[in-house]
Amino acid sequence: MPVEDSANTNKTFHTAATSPHDGFSGWSSHYPFTSHFLKVPAGHLHYVDEGQGEPVVMVHGNPTWSFFYRHLITGLRGQNRCLALDHLGCGFSDKPADFPYRLSNHVDHLERFLIELDLQNITLVVHDWGGAIGMGAALRQKARIKRLVIMNTAAFPADRMPWRIKVCRTPVLGPLAVRGANLFARAALRMAMADSRRMTRNTAKGYLLPYDSWKNRIALQKFVEDIPMDSSHPSYRLLEEIGNGLKTFSELPIFIAWGLRDFCFTPWFLEKWKALYPQAETHEYPTAGHYLLEEEGEDIRRKLRNFLNRNP
CA distance 207 to 83: 18
Find the angle CA(209)-CA(212)-CA(215) to the nearest 5 degrees: 130
CA distance 226 to 110: 17
97 exposure class (CB count in 10 Å sphere: 0-12, 13-18, 19+): exposed
Closest CA to 34 of 73, 62, 8, 64: 73
CA distance 84 to 7: 21
Write out pLDDT tens, residues 166-202: 676 777 677 888 898 888 899 999 999 999 888 999 9
**What's the confidence (pLDDT) of residue 77?**
97
Amino acid identity for residue 198 in this structure = R
Residue 6's pLDDT band (cuts 50, 70, 90): very low
**What's the confidence (pLDDT) of residue 24?**
61
Residue 12 has pLDDT above 80, yes or no: no
Lowest mean pLDDT among 11-25, 98-112, 227-241, 244-258: 11-25
Closest CA to 61 of 138, 149, 137, 131: 131
Residue 100 has pLDDT above 90, yes or no: yes
Tell me the CA end-to-end span of the chain in Å, nearest whole number: 33
**What's the confidence (pLDDT) of residue 131?**
98
Between 156 and 165, name the one with better pLDDT.
Answer: 156
Residue 21's pLDDT band (cuts 50, 70, 90): low
Q: Is the peptide bond before 234 cis (omega within 30 degrees of 0)?
A: no
Edge-first strand order for the sheet with 35-40 is 13-16, 35-40, 43-50, 81-85, 55-59, 122-128, 145-153, 254-259, 281-285
Write out pLDDT tens, residues 27-79: 888 999 999 999 999 999 999 999 999 999 999 999 999 999 999 999 999 99
CA distance 114 to 95: 21
Length of the chain: 312
Write out pLDDT tens, residues 129-161: 999 999 999 999 999 999 999 999 999 999 876
Write out pLDDT tens, residues 242-281: 999 999 999 999 999 999 999 999 999 999 999 999 999 9
This prediction has a pTM of 0.92
Residue-by-residue DSSP string for 199-228: S-HHHHHHHHTT--STGGGHHHHHHHHT--
Crossing angle between the packed helical segments 103-116 and 236-245, to the nearest 10 degrees: 50
**What's the confidence (pLDDT) of residue 184?**
87
Domains of the chain: 25-310 (3.40.50.1820)
**What's the confidence (pLDDT) of residue 18?**
40
CA distance 298 to 72: 9
C-alpha to C-alpha distances, 49 to 24, 41, 69, 109, 142, nearest whole angstrom: 23, 21, 12, 16, 22
CA distance 254 to 246: 12
CA distance 120 to 167: 41
Strands 281-285 and 122-128 come out as unpaired
